[in-house]
Amino acid sequence: MRTDRPIIVVGAGVGGLTAALALHRNGLPVEVYERRTVAEILDAPGSGLTLWSNASTPLGWLGLGDRLQARAEPVTAIHSFDARRRVRFKMSTHRHIWPGALPSLSIGRMDLAETLMSACDERGIAIHYGQKVTGYTDGPDGVEVRFENDRAGVVGAALVGADGVRSAILARLHGGEVPGIYLGRTVYRGVIENARGLVAGIPQLFHDEATGIGGGVYPVGDGRGAWTLSVRAPAGERDEPGRLHARSVELARVLPSVLRDMVDQTPGDAIIRTDIWYHEWHENWGVGRVTLLGDAAHAMPNDLGQGACQAVEDAVVLADALVASDMDSLTGMADALRGYERRRFERVKWVREQSVRVATAPEVRNPVGRWLLGKLTRLYLSLAEKGMWRQMQALPELTATGTPVAEAAGSAP
Ligand SMILES: Cc1cc2nc3c(=O)[nH]c(=O)nc-3n(C[C@H](O)[C@H](O)[C@H](O)COP(=O)(O)OP(=O)(O)OC[C@H]3O[C@@H](n4cnc5c(N)ncnc54)[C@H](O)[C@@H]3O)c2cc1C
């Protein structure tokens, strides 16, 4: 049996919008509620992200492959250097994509947001902007979602909390705010036009072992380049107003000129600073008609660039799990949602573990130890590279609808 009541998605980030597109594609009614306005989303300071093949491909299944490839830059490898530009490791990632998969893509976050938002618009999916969700009540006939400012609640057949690392839905599910784990690092990011010194298809990473400052530069399409700088800092520390540029320039001083130049050219109001928080692993993603997706369910360190990718995977598996469900019955819906969660646990747990392992690898200050660790890192990467990158880019399996082939036209490894 099929209800007309929509599945309510809270949060119009990568995960929420991909879920909306995937549910709609499977013929399920869906509405999205997002606390920010369109301007707040699209005018935020720029940064980039990588959609590894395990995420670009499902987005291709949703009909976005051509648009994304037109706006983004394919990624084929990663090169990592020390502060003096000596090679730490070089890793081919494209060799490890799966048959029929799209290439991995680096893209400006605003380009990705705009692509997802306009695809929802074109397909008639309602996104209600400027609506902050404060809680919900789950009942036998539906789940009622409440909003800030006494706006009348709405009732849905299910509620998907895709509201990020500080999820209100996660907090309600766990009976109070779930404390995050602070990685001990803050990240400065920016995007510039006409970036110079970038290598097509290859993010270049830098690490100054003496100070622990890391960074990276990569093309994000249309001649633009994204940069990041990562440094140890106390949680919640903020730069004095107007100091973002000066602070970024100061940090970049120990890293190669390609990064320094890009930082130099980025105006302070186009720089964003983010503390890196993630969650303890847990498998309480939902109860009754409620579930979680993306960072709300499993925020992880950013080191392997898999947070948004896992949100995309969640989204297509969720839609697959719901396609044949009885949405009117509480048990039908609850069974389908628990089925989605079980299908995701093992995969997300493994990806999260890899990310935590890389993010928390000890830094060695002693130069001989650093040299030895460098050798071991290279040895480890050469042995583990194949397995890890291949497994990392595995495509989600769709059991109810079958794995689509449309637009998935990448080359086999
Ligand atoms: C420095 C850095 C680099 C990264 N690089 C990569 C990368 O290269 N590749 C990758 O895959 N991932 C990367 N990530 C991780 C990625 O950004 C996140 O995992 C991803 O954005 C999570 O998507 P999401 O949709 O779950 O949550 P979010 O993107 O956080 O979206 C949540 C949405 O919910 C809205 N919201 C929140 N609360 C409410 C509420 N109460 N009511 C209504 N709306 C609400 C928010 O406004 C937001 O729009 C990186 C992260 C960082 C910090």
Decide: helix, strand or coil at residue 71. helix
Q: How far apart are CA 407 and CA 265, in angstroms?
A: 37
Q: Residue 2 falls within a domain, yes or no?
A: no
Find all residues with CB under 8 Å of 111, minimum gap 6, and list them: 71, 72, 220, 221
Maximum Cα–Cα distance across the chain: 67
Tell me if 241 is assigned to some domain: no
Predicted local confidence at residue 159, as pLDDT: 98
Residue 245 lies in a domain: no
Determine the pLDDT at residue 241.
87
Ligand 1 center–CA 207 separation, angstroms: 25
Inside any domain, residue 187? no
User: Domain total for the chain?
Assistant: 1
Is the C-beta atom of 49 inside 6 A of ligand 1?
Answer: yes
| Most ligand 1 atoms within 8 A of CB, residue of 59, 295, 355 to mutate | 295
- Domain limits for position 50: 7-75+101-179+280-361
Q: For a substitution probing ligand 1, which of 49, 114, 185, 229 has the most ligand atoms within 8 Å of its CB?
A: 49
For ligand 1, atom 38: residue with the closest CA: 163
Q: Is 324 inside a domain boundary?
A: yes
Say yes or no: CB of residue 295 within 6 Å of ligand 1: yes
Report how far residue 311's alpha carbon sits from residue 265's, in angstroms, rounded to the nearest whole number: 32
Q: Ligand 1, atom 30: nearest CA belongs to which residue? A: 164
Most informative mutation of 110, 111, 136, 302 for ligand 1 (most atoms within 8 A of CB) = 302
Two tokens, residue 177: 């705010």
**From the alpha carbon of 297, which atom of ligand 1 is closest?**
26
Distance 14 CA to ligand 1 centre (A): 7
pTM above 0.85, yes or no: yes
The residue whose C-alpha atom lies closest to atom 1 belonging to ligand 1 is: 187
Which residue has the CA at smallest separation from atom 29 of ligand 1?
Answer: 13
290 part of a folded domain: yes
Cα of 180 from ligand 1 centre, angstroms: 15
Pocket of ligand 1 contains residue 190 by CB under 6 Å: no
Q: What is the pLDDT of residue 361?
A: 78
Each residue's pLDDT tens digit, 284-308: 999 999 999 999 999 999 999 999 9
409 CA distance to ligand 1 centroid (A)?
Answer: 28
Domain annotation covers residue 130: yes
How much distance in Å is there from the Cα of 103 to the middle of ligand 1?
A: 22
Q: Which residues of the chain register pLDDT less than 70?
A: 1-3, 362-386, 405-413
Length of the chain: 413
Q: How far is the CA of 18 from the centre of ligand 1 (A)?
A: 12
CATH code of 131's domain: 3.50.50.60
CA 137 from chain center: how many Å? 28
pLDDT score at 368? 52
pLDDT, tens digit (0-9, with 9 covering 90-100), for 350-374:
999 999 988 887 665 555 555 555 5
Distance from C-alpha of 18 to C-alpha of 156, rounded to nearest angstrom: 18
**Residue 18 alpha carbon, nearest atom of ligand 1:** 25
CA-to-CA distance for 69 and 164, rounded, in angstroms? Answer: 26
Residue 33 beta carbon below 6 angstroms from any ligand 1 atom: yes
Q: Per the domain annotation, does 266 fall within a domain?
A: no
With a 6 Å cutoff on the Cβ, whether 13 touches ligand 1 is: yes
Nearest ligand 1 atom to the CA of 293 is: 26
Long-range contacts of 117-123, Cβ-Cβ distance < 8 Å, separation of 24 or more: 117/12, 117/17, 117/38, 117/41, 119/17, 119/21, 119/62, 119/63, 119/64, 119/67, 120/17, 120/20, 120/21, 120/24, 120/32, 123/21, 123/24
Q: What is the pLDDT of residue 408?
A: 46
Could you tell me if the CB of 162 is within 6 A of ligand 1?
A: yes
Separation CA 393–CA 208 (nearest Å): 29
* Ligand 1 center–CA 357 separation, angstroms: 21
Check if 128 has its Cβ closer than 6 Å to any atom of ligand 1.
Answer: no
| Closest listed residue to residue 105, CA positions, set 46, 55, 64, 62 | 55
What's the pLDDT score for residue 410?
45
Ligand 1 atom 20: residue of nearest CA: 308
The overall average pLDDT reported for the chain is: 91
What residues contact residue 199 under an 8 Å CB cut-off, 6+ apart? Answer: 79, 219
Ligand 1 atom with least separation from CA of 106: 8
pLDDT at site 52: 97
Report how far ligand 1's centroid is from the alpha carbon of 326 (Å).
30
